[in-house]
């Protein structure tokens, strides 16, 4: 059986025309896409190294207004921005740093109960920041306060006054309060 030239041409043309090249091109595209994806992800990781994660802490020294701006009691409007409460009594104004002395959570002011209550473990503090219930070992810290030349109250949360058990209480030291 001899093949005719037409059959030879058809047999030779059929493998070329049946497009076996397409799967090879598809595999090459997938491999190159995988390689470039890998290179791209690594490039992004390297670029991320140059932009480290940072926490933007609030300023530690700031003004909160004049002493006359505050009524008697606890003012909570600075809790979100500066993590402090301004407390005005009949004879003094002081600033409590809003951090529980047990584990550092931010207590909430409960005006109906006239106390600060820590949501983490239930420590309770009176309006002066002195602990009376829960696991807190000591009263909350007070921030340094002073009056500037314009009559504004300046608070410095980097300088805290403590009242630790067995040690001298610093709440009556100069800078722990402003007489009003």
Contact in structure between 32 and 25 (CB atoms under 8 Å): no
pLDDT band at 21 (very low <50, low <70, confident <90, very high): low
Distance between first and last Cα of the chain: 121
- Provide mean pLDDT across the span 7-25: 61
Residue 37's pLDDT is: 97
Burial class of residue 36 (count of CB atoms within 10 Å of its CB; 0-12, 13-18, 19+): exposed
At 6 the pLDDT is: 62
Q: Which CATH class for the 61-179 domain?
A: mainly beta
Among candidate residues 164, 155, 113, the one with its CA nearest the CA of residue 136: 164
Q: How many CB atoms lie within 10 A of CB 120?
A: 14
What's the pLDDT at 1?
53
- State how far the alpha carbon of 75 is from the alpha carbons of 36, 59, 116, in Å: 57, 19, 12
Across 123-135, average pLDDT: 92
> What does the pLDDT read at residue 9?
56
- State pLDDT tens for residues 96-118: 999 999 889 999 999 999 999 99
pLDDT of amino acid 10? 56
97 bridge partner residues: 84
Q: What is the mean pLDDT of the chain?
A: 87
pLDDT per position as a tens digit, 53-104? 887 777 899 999 999 999 999 999 998 889 999 999 999 999 999 999 988 9
Domain ranges of the chain: 5-49, 61-179
> 128, 116 in Cβ contact below 8 A?
no
CA angle (53, 59, 65) in 5-degree steps = 150
* pTM attached to this predicted model: 0.68
């Amino acid at each position: 059986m001899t093949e005719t030239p037409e059959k030879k041409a058809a047999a030779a043309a059929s493998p070329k025309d049946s497009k076996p090249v397409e799967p090879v091109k598809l595999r090459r595209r997938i491999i190159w896409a995988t390689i470039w994806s890998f290179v791209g992800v690594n490039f992004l990781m390297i670029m991320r190294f140059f932009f480290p994660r940072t926490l933007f802490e609030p300023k530690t020294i700031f003004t909160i207004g004049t002493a006359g701006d505050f009524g008697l009691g606890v003012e909570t409007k600075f809790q979100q921005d500066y993590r402090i409460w301004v407390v005005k009594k009949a004879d003094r104004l002081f600033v409590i740093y809003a951090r529980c002395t047990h584990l550092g959570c931010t207590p909430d002011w409960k005006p109906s109960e006239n106390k600060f209550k820590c949501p983490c473990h239930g420590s309770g503090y009176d309006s002066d920041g002195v602990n009376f219930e829960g696991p807190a070992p000591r009263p909350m810290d007070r921030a340094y306060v002073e009056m500037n030349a314009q009559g504004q109250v300046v608070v410095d949360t980097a300088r805290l006054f403590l009242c630790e058990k067995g040690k001298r209480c610093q709440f009556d030291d100069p800078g722990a309060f402003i007489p009003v």
